[in-house]
Amino acid sequence: MKNTVTTFKNAKEKGEKLSMLTAYDYSTAKLVDEAGINSILVGDSLGNVILGYEDTLSVTMEDMIHHSAAVARGAKNALIVTDMPFMSYQVSVEDAVRNAGRLIKEGHAQAVKLEGGSDFVPQIKAIVKASIPVMGHLGLTPQSINTFGGFKVQGKTLEQAKQLIQSARDLEMAGAFAIVLECVPEKLAQIITETVKIPTIGIGAGRYCDGQVLVYQDMLDMYMDFSPKFVKQYAHIGENMLSAFKQYDNDVKNMSFPTEKNIYTINEDIIDKLY
Ligand code: KIV
């Protein structure tokens, strides 16, 4: 069954957990969708795991549209949420609406996600008014990496914790249909989850969020540069890929690939006429 923002609303009301994974291409989106995951996030984490940048700041609207459209071609049932990249919504409300619209029209997303708290209420209200569902993102918001001074757990002081709770309330009031909580202490995430009526989707935010999201390369152990504590590795695909690539390299060099099974034939009469 097709997942929509209503699925998210109903899940929170019924106390059912929501699953979300990132995907950035057609083939992966198809598999994630087939697995029955509720939602696919075309995250700007593609800057790290697909494009090899150190952070997400260089990701462009064109990057997001390109990958979002590929994911949309592969996913039938998962709700596709696409990230608004750095500087696509921060400068003005007009920019925010126009760029959110592009992610829907050109990227075929069904909702957009943007990072930031109470300061972004005007943008969220305007995007929602344009009939585009918005997912908020609080806590460790990677687009603010230079302000945070590194990848650190957020909301550990009383002031920060209060600010996060207020931001969650403000995002709900602005019309967001869900909020990602990234790298937030479990108990604070629980309070936020109990405070708002919209679902919270945790990543490094503990057990009491309404759902969970992971970057798929992290959970498959494919992104060997760094693995955060909050990730559970469900497979070691990176190792398998490396071993397969090495075998292929060997096979090509010692001529054990291709074999007769891998070739196309042609009538010998034709070949004779070619000499
Ligand atoms: O870009 C992304 O993948 C994200 C998740 C880490 C939530 O925003």
Q: How far apart, in whole angstroms, are the C-alpha atoms of residue 59 and residue 45?
A: 9
Determine the pLDDT at residue 227. 83
Q: How far apart, in whole angstroms, are the C-alpha atoms of residue 65 and residue 69?
A: 6
> Residue 156 to residues 139, 159, 160, 219: CA-CA distances in angstroms?
10, 8, 6, 26
Determine the pLDDT at residue 226. 77
239 is known as an active-site residue: no
Average pLDDT over residues 68-95: 98
Average pLDDT over residues 41-67: 97
> Residue 24 to residues 46, 88, 148, 183: CA-CA distances in angstroms?
7, 19, 26, 22
pLDDT tops 90 at residue 181: yes
Using pLDDT thresholds of 50, 70 and 90, give the confidence band for residue 18. Answer: very high
Task: Kindly report the number of other CB atoms within 10 A of residue 148's CB atom.
Answer: 13
Average pLDDT over residues 258-262: 98
Determine the pLDDT at residue 47. 97
SS3 of residue 124 by DSSP:
helix
Average pLDDT, the chain: 97
Pocket probe mutation, ligand 1, options 20, 45, 137, 216, max atoms within 8 Å of Cβ: 45
15 CA distance to ligand 1 centroid (A)? 23
Per-residue pLDDT tens digits for 189-248 = 999 999 999 999 999 999 999 999 999 999 999 987 778 899 999 999 999 999 999 999
Average pLDDT over residues 153-171: 98
Nearest CA to ligand 1 atom 3: 43
Pocket probe mutation, ligand 1, options 113, 138, 181, max atoms within 8 Å of Cβ: 113
What would the two tokens of residue 34 be? 């087939």
State the closest ligand 1 atom to the C-alpha of 201, by its place in the atom list counted from 1: 7
N-terminal to C-terminal alpha carbon distance within the chain: 60
Q: How far apart, in whole angstroms, are the C-alpha atoms of residue 140 and residue 153?
A: 6
Q: How far apart, in whole angstroms, are the C-alpha atoms of residue 17 and residue 40?
A: 15
194 CA distance to ligand 1 centroid (A)? 22
Residue type present at position 210: D
Q: Write down all domains in the chain, each with its CATH number in brackets.
A: 5-236 (3.20.20.60), 240-273 (no CATH)
Determine the pLDDT at residue 19. 99
116 CA distance to ligand 1 centroid (A)? 13
Per-residue pLDDT tens digits for 116-161 = 999 999 999 999 999 999 999 999 999 999 999 988 999 999 999 9
Determine the pLDDT at residue 150. 87
239 CA distance to ligand 1 centroid (A)? 24
262, with CB counted inside 10 A (0-12, 13-18, 19+), is exposed
Give long-range contacts, CB 8 A cutoff, 24+ apart: 120-124. Answer: 120/89, 120/171, 120/174, 121/170, 121/171, 121/173, 121/174, 122/93, 123/89, 123/93, 123/96, 123/97, 124/171, 124/174, 124/175, 124/176
Pocket probe mutation, ligand 1, options 44, 114, 218, 227, max atoms within 8 Å of Cβ: 44
- Ligand 1 binding pocket (C-beta < 6 A) is 22, 41, 43-45, 83, 137, 180, 182, 203, 213, 215
What would the two tokens of residue 156 be? 């550990």
Q: How far apart, in whole angstroms, are the C-alpha atoms of residue 138 and residue 74?
A: 28
Determine the pLDDT at residue 180. 98
Determine the pLDDT at residue 89. 98
pLDDT tops 80 at residue 91: yes
> Residue 98 to residues 129, 253, 265: CA-CA distances in angstroms?
12, 52, 54
SS3 of residue 3 by DSSP:
coil
74 CA distance to ligand 1 centroid (A)? 19
Q: Which residue is catalytic, options 172, 182, 194, 260?
A: 182
Average pLDDT over residues 104-112: 98
Provide the whole-model pTM: 0.97
pLDDT tops 90 at residue 76: yes
Average pLDDT over residues 82-111: 98
Average pLDDT over residues 164-176: 98
Residue type present at position 270: I
State the closest ligand 1 atom to the C-alpha of 45, by its place in the atom list counted from 1: 1
Task: Kindly report the number of other CB atoms within 10 A of residue 3's CB atom.
Answer: 23
State the closest ligand 1 atom to the C-alpha of 203, by its place in the atom list counted from 1: 7
State the closest ligand 1 atom to the C-alpha of 113, by its place in the atom list counted from 1: 8
Nearest CA to ligand 1 atom 2: 43
Is the CB of residue 211 less than 8 Å from the CB of residue 17? yes
